[in-house]
């Protein structure tokens, strides 16, 4: 898997090492064990998927993660992406709108010993203002636009990675907050994510 990621252009050795360390098959149903390290997305329940390894590596590299940075991940899913961020030394705040996934993944990450990942159940379209501002942010779902409320929770010089477009295809955007009211946006490759949907209006912080 790692050599395939290198061949596809992933050059951040820290990201590659983190993904090489983390067993991807832990985050999948055992029925997919044989293909766990292939370049495929797999269902994880509630019509959600675990992203392809390339997508995980690509988005992680965009954030340029540094140790002890506070990162907001919107869309906890299986927990794999959050675990990669944690292995890079980040303090991860991750929010999930599907209660089933939230409960299952929260307990699973706890069993794996990830003490720097805090899981929340709520509406990711509103971010997680209680713990803002964030050094970096990642949205693992596609939307027609970037919610201004998320940008407001980003530190100056912070980075947001998010796919933007219609239901069939999105363009990955890397947005850097350059000032109190200014942002720099770079449009990159095409991806396809599940839609970015509203969730419940409460946050579980326990």
Active site residues: 51
CB count, 10 Å around CB of 164?
20
Tell how strand 170-177 and strand 183-191 pair up.
antiparallel
3-state secondary structure of 142: strand
Q: Give Cα separations from 199 to 82, 109, 191 (angstroms).
A: 19, 22, 23
- Residues 206 and 196: their CA atoms lie apart, in Å, by 24
């Amino acid at each position: 898997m790692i050599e395939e990621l290198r061949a596809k252009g992933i050059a951040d050795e820290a990201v590659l090492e983190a993904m090489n360390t983390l067993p991807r098959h832990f985050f999948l149903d055992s029925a997919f064990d044989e293909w766990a390290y292939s370049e495929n997305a797999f269902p994880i329940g509630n019509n959600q998927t675990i992203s392809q390894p390339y997508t995980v590596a690509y988005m992680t590299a965009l954030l340029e993660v540094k140790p002890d940075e506070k990162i907001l991940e919107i869309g906890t899913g299986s927990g794999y992406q959050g675990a990669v961020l944690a292995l890079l030394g980040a303090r991860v705040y991750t929010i999930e709108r599907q209660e089933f996934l939230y409960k299952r993944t929260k307990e699973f990450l706890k069993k794996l010993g990830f003490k720097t990942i805090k899981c929340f159940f709520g509406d990711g379209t509103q971010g997680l203002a209680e713990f803002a501002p964030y050094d970096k942010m990642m949205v693992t779902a596609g939307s027609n636009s970037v919610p201004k409320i998320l940008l407001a929770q980003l530190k100056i010089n912070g980075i947001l990675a998010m796919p933007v477009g219609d239901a069939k295809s999105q363009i990955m955007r890397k947005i850097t907050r350059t000032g109190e009211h200014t942002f720099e946006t770079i449009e990159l490759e095409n991806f396809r994510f599940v839609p970015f949907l509203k969730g419940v209006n409460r946050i579980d912080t326990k």
